[in-house]
Chains A and B, each alone.
Chain A
Amino acid sequence: MGVRLILKNGILTAVLSGEIDHHSAREIRNEIDSTASKVKPKTLILDFSAVQFMDSSGVGLIMGRCKLMQIWDGSVEIANLPPKIERIVSLAGLNQLCVVRKGNLDESDE
C-alpha cells in the first residue's frame, strides 16, 4: 500500500498502489491532504492503475478528497480504474461527484 505524489503544472497526481481499505485509507488520506492543503492544486488526479483491491473505504476516501478540493474550487479526477474497482465506483455514483477518466492516462495527456 502506498501513495506517490507528483506535482506538475498545478496538477497534483496521487499514484495509489496496493490494497485500499479502512486500514490503509487513513495513511493515504493524510499523505494526500498534507500536500494538497499546502499547494492547493486546481486538479487532483487519483491514479488507480496500481491498486489491487478497494472496498467502500476507498469510496469514502474519494468523496472526502472531493470535499477538500471544493474548498478552493479545485476538482478531482479518477484515472486508470481497473475494471474490478470501477464496479464499486459506479455503484457509489462517484461519476456525479468527480470526473472518471476512461482509458489510460499517460504523459502525453496534458
Chain B
Amino acid sequence: MGDGNSNASSSSRAGNSNNNGNNRPEWLQQYDLIGKIGEGTYGLVFLAKIKSNRSKSIAIKKFKQSKDGDGVSPTAIREIMLLREINHENVVKLVNVHINHADMSLYLAFDYAEHDLYEIIRHHRDKVNQPINQYTVKSLLWQLLNGLNYLHSNWIVHRDLKPSNILVMGEGDEHGVVKIADFGLARIYQSPLKPLSENGVVVTIWYRAPELLLGAKHYTSAVDMWAVGCIFAELLTLKPLFQGQEVKGTPNPFQFDQLDKIFKVLGHPTQEKWPTLVNLPHWHADVQQIQGRKYENAGLYSVVHLSPKNPAYDLLSKMLEYDPRKRITAAQALEHEYFRMEPLPGRNALVPPQPGEKFVNYPIRPVDTTTDFEGTISLQPSQPVSSGNAVSGGMAGPHVMPTRSVQRPIPMGMQRMQPQGMSAYNITSQAGMGGGMNPGGIPMQRGVAAQAHQQQQMRRKDPAGMTGYHPPQQKSRRF
C-alpha cells in the first residue's frame, strides 16, 4: 500500500446536513461499489472496482469498531500490521487502508480474488461430479506451500488455514494464482501466542492440529502444516477429511469428536511415536475418554483412495504426522518428490498448460448488490453480477455461469445473505445490517452494534454456523 500516510486517507462526509444526502466517505469516490460479497464477525466484505481502472477489482473488508467500545478492532490492527510487512505472490495483497472517522471503522482494500478453495471444491463435488484434475491439485498445493513457506520463514503462523481462506485469482495476469488470505488470527511467533480461545476467537476445528486439540498452549508453524494436510486431502476427495462435531463451551473445551474422527483414520497416537504427547493437558485430563477407545487403523490411503506407494500419499502422510516436531515443514514439502513428477505444478493452477485437459469454468463469487458500503440494505432485488463488467458495462463477463449467479432477493428479516462463498475472508455469517457505519455518528450506533453482537453470540451456539462450512439447511435452500 505504499506510503501509509498518503494512503491512509480519511473520511466519510457525515454529520453535516449540507451534503446532499450523500453520506459516503470521500475516499469512496475512487471506487465503484458492486456489492457485498461477505459478512461476518468483524464486519463486511465488498466488491468494488477502481474508477480509474475498471478492469481492476478490489475486495474491501470493513472492520467495525471493536464491540466493547474499546477503539479500533484489534483484529484489524493485527491484520494490517502483518500485511504491511509482507509481500509475496502467494499472499493476498493489501493495497490500501481507509478510515471512516465518523464511526472509527477501518476499510482494508485487497486485490480481488474471484475464487477460493472452498468454492472450487464445492463446485466439483456438487456440480461437476468429478475430482479436481491432478495438475490443478498439485499446483494449488504447491503455491499454498510456497506462500506458507514465505510466512513461516518470516516467523508468521497463520493459525486459521482452511479452504475458504485460500483464494485463487480469476481472469487476468494472475489467473489461477493462489493467495493466502485472512491474517486476522495470524501471529508472529516471537510474541507469546495466546490460545485462540483466550482471545475469544472461534475458528473451525476441522483443520485444527491434534496438539492443539489436546490442549497444547503454544502454536508453532506445524499447526499450519496440519491444516495444509487436511486441505490436500479435501482437494483429492472433495470432502473434509476430519469432519468433527464441535463442542461448544468455555474456554477451549475438549474436542472429543474431532480427535475421534482423526484417530479413526490415522490410528491412535502413541507415546513411542510422539514422546511429548503425555505432557499435553487434555491427554491426561481425558485419559479414559481417549485412551479407553480402541481404534482400528482404517488407513489414510483408503480414505483418500491413494496407493501407499504413491508420492502424493507419502507427502500427505508426512503432513498429517502426529508429532508436530516430526511433521514436514513447508520448505521440506516443496522439495518433495510429488512436485517433481508429472504433471509438474504451474503458476496458473486452473488452466493446465497441456491442451486436451478439460477446462473447468469455475463460478464467480455471488454478489449482493442490495447492500451498500454502510451496510444498509436497499430494497431492490439483487442482480446477477459477473466478475467482468456486468453492472455498468452491461456485457456479461467471460466466466458468467448463469446457474450460479442467480440470487434470490434477500428478505429484510432474514439478514443472512448467500452463505456460500461468503466465508472467503473468514467472516463467517452473522446477522446484521446493524453495527454498520452510522454516518451521523449518532449514539444509537453503539446500541445497534451491541445488538448485532448478541445475535452473533447466539449464532455461535449453532454448530454449523461457525464452521465456515455449509450449515445443512443451506443445502436445501439453494436452488
Do A and B assemble together?
no
Q: Which residues of A contact B (CB under 8 A)?
A: none
Q: Which residues of B contact A (CB under 8 A)?
A: none
